[in-house]
Amino acid sequence: MAIHSILIIEDDRFIGEMYVRSLQKAGYSVDWMVDGNDGLIAARNKPYDCILLDLMLPEKRGGEILQILRGQQDLIPNTKVVVLTNFDQDEHSRLAMEHNADAYLIKAEITPKKLLSVIEKLSAS
Amino acid sequence: MEVKQSNNKSAKTLFLKDFWPLYKKRVLGLVLALQVVAGLAIILLFMSIDRQNPYLGWGLLSAIIIGQLVAAYVLTSAILRPLHDLSKALVHVSGELTAETPPSLNDDYYANNNLRPLLQQIYELASKNTDTPTAEKTAASSSLNVSSALNTTATGVVLINDQGKIVFANKSAPVSTGPNGEEKLDLVFDVDQPLAEWLVECRSHDIHAERTWKRIANKLPGDENRRLFDVFASYEKGSEAEVVITLFDRTNEYSPEEEDLDFIAFAAHELRGPITVIRGYLDGLNDELSQAMNSEQKELFNRLIVSANRLSGYINNILNASRYDRRHLQVHLTELSLADIYETIADDMKLRALAQRRLLSVNLPPSLPNVAADLNSISEVLGNLIDNAIKYSNDGGSIEVDATVNGDFVEVSVTDHGIGMPANVIGNLFHKFYRSHRSRETVAGTGIGLYISKAIIESHGGKMNVRSVEGHGSTFSFSLPIYATVADKIAKTGANNQQFVEHSSSGWIRNHGAIRG
């Protein structure tokens, strides 16, 4: 499933802009939401190929958003979800989250270039 | 007023010891008086016998005998009364049930014979000593079942005899039964078995000793019903229960700190935000500006990238060390090749070596057997060791990474030909925050890298080693189990163990895995 459209839910301006810049340069169509509520609404209203989801978000945490989208039933079966966080969760909650996500990345550990390669991999799978 | 005072004075001057001389004097007087009366009566009898009047003689004899009996009864009663009153008073204060009323201090009788102070003293002692059981208390304690009473408290109580065996543990005590039916205390101490060590010390030195441990858990983090205790132990040589351990449940107090207020995780989150941006743009700009930069600028740019990468590595070290200290560190063992592990940090390491002009040669042939390892953790260890080798070697020096099979383990070594270490430094090397005196001046670092590296390797069941010659360089090596030798064990222990197999069937990707900055 080729990925073309991407939703970024990220509250850090610098990080959000950085991802938007590099993804747009690579030819993706990108929407960026800053708070959790707006992010969830966007994710449910428009069929994105991929969602980049931060966890420590205002209004609604990334974990809650993921739970709503994938917890009971998969509301977004045609969308890949990449959890992107800098928060070091405990093992238990991380494993639970990984179960509902297609990738789980520590932001400080990846550069936009690496992020692009992850998206390409997901796109190919 | 004056009269009253003098009265008080006269009452005060009456001492307990005043009773006996007066009592003795009176008893002696009474007994002597009786003797005198009896003697006179006998003389009278003899005189009447002389007159040959048998009736009078028999009459007098009878009167003497009756008189003696009556006198003896009256006398004995009078002599024994103080003893009777003292015994009544003692029975009363002892709490024994009795029909007799206790002697009243106001009775004039006691004023006349100096017994009042003695009785007063008995009543005073009894009221002061509240431990003296009253009738109700005596009845209650005799029917009290201590063990069932102790089972109602949230505080754990454990008694251990001189054989080291648990002879009593109440319900709240964190005690479990072992495979052979023996009971043991479930406490997870920071270091191995300090309770047992303390006990050994007590037995050899002490008669009486006490010791407190704070914030001791009964289970590892994440386990159900985990409780946190303040543990108080007292030792008494020769006692029936040599060691009494009291465990105060402080779970409510400590667990919020443990789980919610994870300061380090929040601090790391804040630090990682700016690092994300720095690393991200450095990477992007390095590509975009590569045509425009001259070679010196490129070198400086590399230093920026290397420094940002190191910063990110330090944060991971600190997070892992904090997890390890709180026993949260978990390694997920999967089947991995060492070449794949190195691949995740290869670009970063090459750049670090290049930026500091070291020759890094990595020789991890594909022919090596796969190891059981946590990709994220082992790449962190390898990164720490290579980074140290770069830091503690000289310009242009070479660093070799090699691996060999050694029994059931693969041993990976990182060798530098740098400054090396004297023997006395090696012993402290793996302590947290330890940095050798010299390195503090010349080399940046936290002193946490080797500490956490050793912890990670040991969590894998491997060992960390170091050989060093001062002035000639050092070799740090670690061993990891060959996957085939532990595959069964890993599959069996499952999630119950600290180590468990990672299920990768869902197909997600982690940067702890294939993708790493």
Calpha distance B325→B455 (Å, rounded):
10
Residue B473 gets the label, from left (phi > 0), alpha (psi -120 to 50) or beta, of: left
Give the pLDDT of residue B511: 38
DSSP string, B341-397: HHHHHHHHHHHHHHHTT-EEEEE--TTSPPEEE-HHHHHHHHHHHHHHHHHTS-TT-
Supply angle C-alpha B513, B515, B517, rounded to 5: 125
Q: Which domains does chain B have, with CATH numbers?
A: 2-137 (no CATH), 147-258 (3.30.450), 330-496 (3.30.565.10)
pLDDT at B493 over 70: no
Report d(CA B294, CA B291) in Å as an integer.
8
> Which amino acid, residue B173?
A
Q: Which amino acid is at B92?
A: H
Which of B269, B273, B515 has its CB closest to that of A118? B515
- CA separation (Å) from B122 to B98, B100, B130? 17, 17, 13
Distance set, CA A50 to CA B123, B280, B350 (Å): 90, 20, 33
Superfamily of domain A5-124: Response regulator (3.40.50.2300)
* The predicted structure's pLDDT at residue B137: 46
Q: Is A114's CB within 8 Å of B511's CB? A: yes
pLDDT digit string, tens, across residues B212-255: 888 888 877 666 777 888 899 998 888 888 889 999 988 887 76
Q: How confident is the model at residue B443 (pLDDT cuts 50, 70, 90)?
A: low
The residue in chain A having the minimum alpha-carbon distance to the alpha carbon of residue B505 is A99
Average the pLDDT over B446-450 and give the result: 77
Is the CB of A96 inside 8 Å of chain B's CB atoms? no
Out of A73-87, B82-96, B150-164, B317-331, least confident range: B317-331
ipTM: 0.92
pLDDT digits (tens, 9 = 90+) for B344-398: 899 899 999 999 999 999 999 989 999 999 888 899 999 999 999 998 888 999 9
B60 vs B441, residue with greater confidence: B60
Q: Is A56 within 8 Å of B511 when comparing Cβ atoms?
A: no
Give me the mean pLDDT over the A6-13 stretch: 95
Does pLDDT of B257 surpass 60? Answer: no
**Domain spans, chain A:** 5-124
Q: Is B390 on the interface with A (CB under 8 A)?
A: no
CB within 8 Å: B276 and A104: no
Dist. CA B75–CA B27, nearest whole Å: 8
Residue with tokens 């790449």, as numbered in its chain: B379
What's the average model confidence in pLDDT over B128-144?
52
Judged by CB atoms closer than 8 Å, whether chains meet at A91 and B279 is answered as no
